[in-house]
Amino acid sequence: MSTMAERKRQLVAGELRDAALMLLATKGFDTVTVDDIAAAAGVSRRTFFRYFASKEDVVVRWLADMSEMVVAVLSERPLDEQPSTALRHAVWAPLELCTDHPDHTERSRVVARLVLDTPALEARWMEYQVRVRTDLAVELATRHGLDPDASPWPRLAAGMTMLALDQVLQRWQPGDGEHDLARRTDEAFTVIAPALDAS
């Protein structure tokens, strides 16, 4: 059970993240400053730096949380599911959270586009994906009773899964809602399912 202090930290971090993403989505990455984000969240600049190293960190952490959710959801899927089915559900979980309201959906799309179109942010995102792919490969190996160092399948499957997520984000268009994102996710997994299920 989390303590009161931990819950407060999570609340403040969430408020900073939401303020940052809203500003970055509406005003653009280069225009928004750390002071702008702190002011929008109602905290000091010093408080901002207790939670995030930079404004880049806020954005990358948002996508990192999405990726970590993929691993967490996969670990809860039934063990008798086909790999492509389990991984499709795992990838869809964080995307579905982005579609709970039209304004939230569009903000999430703009922020994802911001990461993919800003070289410094994309580099940080790709760096983080390396760690997520490793965690995903370990989870896949565990589920299928494989040695991730001896069998190439877990790492290849993890790489294909993260590439599928990246493709959905790349193809996310203005006005896309839950149905559109689900369709794009299905399209990506239709392509990679034969390889995923060949284990």
Provide the residue ranges of all domains of the chain, joining segments of one domain with +: 1-52, 55-196
Q: Please compute the mean of the pLDDT values over residues 104-113 and round it to a whole number.
A: 84
pTM across the whole model: 0.83
* C-alpha closest to that of 21 among 63, 53, 49, 50: 63
Q: What is the pLDDT of residues 57-92, one digit of tens each?
A: 888 888 788 888 999 999 999 999 999 999 999 999
> 1-52 — its CATH code?
1.10.10.60
Tell me: pLDDT of 1 over 60. Answer: no
Taking domain 55-196, whether its CATH number is 1.10.357.10 is answered by yes
Q: What is the pLDDT of residues 126-169, one digit of tens each?
A: 888 888 999 999 999 999 999 988 999 999 999 999 999 999 99
C-beta of residue 74 within 8 angstroms of C-beta of residue 136: yes
What is the secondary structure of 127-180 as a DSSP string?
HHHHHHHHHHHHHHHHHHT--TTT-SHHHHHHHHHHHHHHHHHHH--TT--HHH
Tell me: pLDDT of 38 over 70. Answer: yes
In percent, the amount of the chain with pLDDT more than 90 equals: 50
pLDDT-derived band at 199 (thresholds 50, 70, 90) equals low
